[in-house]
Chain A
Amino acid sequence: MHLPGLAGQPPPVDEARLSDVDEWGRSEHMREIARRLYEPLYESWFRAEWEGLEKIPRVGGALLVANHAGAIPSDAPVIMHGVETEIRRPVYGLADHMFKAIPVVGTMWSRVGGVAAHPENAYRLLRDQRQLVLVFPEGTKGTGKVYSERYKLRRFGRGGFVEIAMRAGVPVVPITVVGSEEAMPIVAKVPSLAKLLGVPYVPITANMLLMGPLGALVPFPAKMRLRVLDPIRFDVPPDQDRYSKSRIMDEAEAIRVKMQETLYEMLRNRRSVWFG
Chain B
Amino acid sequence: MPRRVLITGLGSFWGGRVAQALEGHPDVEIIVGLDTHEPSVPLERTEFVRADQSYSILSRIVKATQVDTILHTFLVVDSTRVSARQLHEQNVIGTMNLLAAAGAPGSSVRQVVVKSSTLVYGSSWQDPTWFREEMPRVGAARSRVERSLVEVESYLRDFAEDNPHVTVTLLRFANVVGTDIVTPITKALQLPLVPCILGFDPLFQFVEEDDVVRSIEFVTRVGLPGIYNVAGDGRLPWSEVAAICGKRLIPMPPVATELAAAPLARLNVELPQELLDLLRYGRGVDNRRFKAAGFTYGYTSAGAVHNFAGAVRLQRAVGSRRPQYHYEQDVEQFFRHSPAVMRDPEENVT
A residues with a Cβ closer than 8 A to B are: 14, 16-19, 21, 23-25, 97-98, 100-107, 115-116, 118, 120-121, 124
Q: Write the chain B residue with the least CB distance to A16.
A: B302
Known: A17-B236, A103-B199, A103-B200. A24 touches B303 (CB 8 A): no
Q: Write the chain B residue with the least CB distance to A119.
A: B128
B132 on the A face (CB < 8 A): yes
Distance, CA A161 to CA B10, complexed state (A) = 50
Distance, CA A102 to CA B254, complexed state (A) = 9
Q: How large is the interface on B (under 10, 10 to 19, 20 to 34, 35 or more residues)?
A: 20 to 34
Q: Chain B contact residues: over half helix, strand or loop, or mixed?
A: loop
Known: A14-B303, A107-B201, A120-B135. A21 touches B237 (CB 8 A): yes
B residues with a Cβ closer than 8 A to A are: 125-130, 132, 135, 197-201, 203, 233-237, 239-240, 243-244, 254, 281, 284, 300, 302-303, 305-306
A100:B125 contact, CB within 8 angstroms: yes
Distance, CA A100 to CA B244, complexed state (A) = 25
B244:A18 contact, CB within 8 angstroms: yes
Name the B residues within 8 Å of A116 (CB-CB).
126-129
Name the B residues within 8 Å of A24 (CB-CB).
129
A106:B200 contact, CB within 8 angstroms: yes
Q: Write the chain A residue with the least CB distance to B132.
A: A120
Name the B residues within 8 Å of A101 (CB-CB).
125
Q: Min CB distance, B208 to chain A, in Å?
A: 11
Distance, CA A106 to CA B203, complexed state (A) = 12
Q: Min CB distance, A119 to chain B, in Å?
A: 8
Name the B residues within 8 Å of A103 (CB-CB).
197-200, 254
Distance, CA A118 to CA B234, complexed state (A) = 19
Known: A14-B303, A97-B125. A21 touches B199 (CB 8 A): no
Known: A23-B284, A100-B281, A120-B135. A14 touches B234 (CB 8 A): yes
B132:A16 contact, CB within 8 angstroms: no
Q: Min CB distance, A120 to chain B, in Å?
A: 4
Q: Min CB distance, B130 to chain A, in Å?
A: 6
Q: Min CB distance, B77 to chain A, in Å?
A: 23
9 A-B pairs besides A100-B125, A121-B128 with CB distance below 8 A are: A14-B234, A16-B300, A17-B240, A18-B240, A21-B203, A97-B125, A106-B199, A107-B200, A116-B127
B237:A118 contact, CB within 8 angstroms: no
Known: A14-B302, A14-B303, A17-B302. A25 touches B198 (CB 8 A): no
Q: Min CB distance, B231 to chain A, in Å?
A: 11
Name the A residues within 8 Å of B130 (CB-CB).
120-121, 124
Q: Write the chain A residue with the least CB distance to B237.
A: A21
Name the A residues within 8 Å of B234 (CB-CB).
14, 17, 23
Distance, CA A101 to CA B128, complexed state (A) = 13
Q: Write the chain A residue with the least CB distance to B305.
A: A16
Q: Min CB distance, A61 to chain B, in Å?
A: 16
Distance, CA A14 to CA B300, complexed state (A) = 8
A21:B236 contact, CB within 8 angstroms: yes
Distance, CA A139 to CA B176, complexed state (A) = 38
Q: List 23 A-B contacts (CB under 8 A).
A: A16-B300, A17-B240, A18-B243, A18-B244, A19-B236, A19-B237, A19-B240, A19-B243, A21-B236, A23-B203, A23-B284, A24-B129, A25-B237, A97-B126, A105-B199, A106-B199, A107-B200, A115-B129, A116-B128, A120-B128, A120-B129, A120-B130, A124-B129
Distance, CA A102 to CA B197, complexed state (A) = 12
Q: Min CB distance, A72 to chain B, in Å?
A: 19
Distance, CA A17 to CA B241, complexed state (A) = 9
Name the A residues within 8 Å of B305 (CB-CB).
16
Distance, CA A23 to CA B135, complexed state (A) = 19
Name the B residues within 8 Å of A97 (CB-CB).
125-126
Q: What 8 pairs between A and B have smallest CB-CB spacing? A: A103-B199, A16-B302, A101-B125, A104-B199, A118-B128, A103-B254, A100-B125, A120-B128
Q: Write the chain B residue with the least CB distance to A125.
A: B129
Q: Min CB distance, A143 to chain B, in Å?
A: 20
Q: Write the chain A residue with the least CB distance to B300.
A: A14
Name the B residues within 8 Å of A115 (CB-CB).
129
Name the A residues within 8 Å of B303 (CB-CB).
14, 16
Distance, CA A116 to CA B135, complexed state (A) = 16
Distance, CA A8 to CA B227, complexed state (A) = 34
Distance, CA A16 to CA B310, complexed state (A) = 12
Distance, CA A19 to CA B302, complexed state (A) = 11
A21:B132 contact, CB within 8 angstroms: no
Known: A14-B300, A16-B306. A25 touches B135 (CB 8 A): no
Distance, CA A100 to CA B124, complexed state (A) = 9
A121:B129 contact, CB within 8 angstroms: yes
Distance, CA A107 to CA B239, complexed state (A) = 12
Distance, CA A24 to CA B129, complexed state (A) = 7
A107:B199 contact, CB within 8 angstroms: yes
Q: Min CB distance, A242 to chain B, in Å?
A: 15
Distance, CA A104 to CA B200, complexed state (A) = 6
Name the A residues within 8 Å of B132 (CB-CB).
120
Q: Write the chain B residue with the least CB distance to A104.
A: B199
A23:B235 contact, CB within 8 angstroms: yes
Name the A residues within 8 Å of B235 (CB-CB).
23
